Amino acid sequence: MNLPQLFSTQKVLVTGASGFIGEHLCRQLLCSGAEVYGISRLKRSSPHAAMHWLQGDVKNFDELRQIWKSIKPDIVFHLASYVSGSRSMDAVRSTLENNLVSTVNLLTLMAEFGGQRIVLAGSLEEPNAGDVPIPSSPYAAAKWASSAYAQMFYQLYQVPIVNARIFMVYGPAQKDIKKLIPYVTLSLLEGKAPQLSSGQRQVDWVYVDDVVDGLIAAAHVPNIEGCTFELGSSRLTPISEIVQNLNRLIDPSIQPLFGALPDRPMEQVRVANLDNTRSILGWMPKTALKQGLMNTVQWYSAHRDLYLPHALNLAL
């Protein structure tokens, strides 16, 4: 993708800009000439003149409305989310407010003030079209409802939405070290055996830089409003194989403890359908799993001082 000046003179608002995907996306947007505005509940600063941090909470409609009025964004990427695979009741309100309410707030403001496009981050956890719509977790329910609201706003109010349904993202600088790949990587780097579930779940893994390319395509390819595009590898790889690959890269002498944790109920096995993504967005993943894992291990090895010794329970 030819990034230079792709978003020149455009104001781009990114929620979740300080998160895993958000940081990678903002870097690419800055390289493409965009004036980037990130929303964070915490006060932040950036050495880059074109990166502006705004303090606010996307769950709070009035705060978000003031931010929107002050910058009048051309393009919005909504990545802010409470990401949790928990089946606990404790996750219900958090996912409702952080995932669904925040999405409806942004869609409402786009309907009121206008803009070129809002790109929403969907999830592999959402039920597929045609499935019996029973979400497997509070997070999945909130993401599924968010996508439904987006389609309603598009059909009733002509809000220019594009939904990017993102599969299991991995790569350097993932901050949630309870996620499988950072958890296993850091455990092995510390010489500890990671405690895992059975490892049998099959997952569609996609490298973070490839996801960023897909999000950028979703923002600039013309005449795709109302569409959903899947961003994944279109291949399933079991968790056990991921762990074994990391094991070989870091320390084959350590034996991961498969079966130390129970499998979560209602785990979903879904693979990305890239037909429309390829033909309309012109996007395909470029990073092979082996290379992506090697890049990830190298990053955590170089930055292991950022992480304290940890004893984590697997969250994936």
Per-residue pLDDT of the chain (316 residues; tens, 9 = 90+): 555 678 888 999 999 999 999 999 999 999 999 999 999 888 877 767 779 999 999 999 999 999 999 999 999 999 998 777 778 888 888 888 889 999 999 999 999 999 999 999 998 877 777 666 777 788 888 898 999 999 999 999 999 999 999 999 999 999 899 999 999 999 999 999 999 999 999 999 999 999 999 999 999 999 999 999 999 999 999 999 999 999 999 999 999 999 999 998 878 889 999 999 999 999 999 999 999 999 999 999 999 888 755 434 443 4
Q: What is the pTM of this model?
A: 0.91
pLDDT, position 62: 96
Question: Are 219 and 77 within 8 A, CB to CB?
Answer: yes
Neighbour tally for 250: CB within 10 Å: 20
Dihedral sign, Cα of residue 217, residue 124, residue 89, residue 174 = negative
CATH 3.90.25.10 in the chain, residues?
168-207+234-270+287-316
Tens of pLDDT, residue by residue over 110-123, are: 999 999 999 999 98
Task: Pick left, alpha or beta for residue 87 (phi over 0 → left; psi -120 to 50 → alpha; otherwise beta).
Answer: alpha
What is the pLDDT, as a whole number, of residue 131?
Answer: 65
Q: State the CATH architecture for 168-207+234-270+287-316.
A: Alpha-Beta Complex (3.90)
Distances (CA, A) of 86 to 94, 134, 136, 141, 289: 11, 16, 10, 12, 26
Q: What is the mean pLDDT of the chain?
A: 91
What stretches of 89-139 adopt beta strand conformation (E)?
117-123
Q: Compute how many other C-beta atoms are within 10 angstroms of the C-beta atom of residue 285.
A: 24
Domain with CATH 3.40.50.720 in the chain: 1-166
Q: What is the CATH number of domain 1-166?
A: 3.40.50.720
Q: Is 166 helix (H, G, I), strand (E, B) or coil?
A: strand
CB 214 within 8 A of CB 24: no
Mention every residue, 6+ apart, whose C-beta is less than 8 A from residue 310: 177, 186, 187, 190
Please give the pLDDT value at position 46. 74
End-to-end CA distance of the chain: 32
Token reading at 212: 């960023």
Quote the pLDDT of residue 151.
96
pLDDT value for 3: 58
Distance of CA 177 to the CA centre of its chain: 15
Element (H, E) at 207: strand 205-207
Neighbour-count burial of 49, counting CB atoms closer than 10 A to its CB (0-12 exposed, 13-18 middle, 19+ buried): exposed
The residue count for the chain: 316
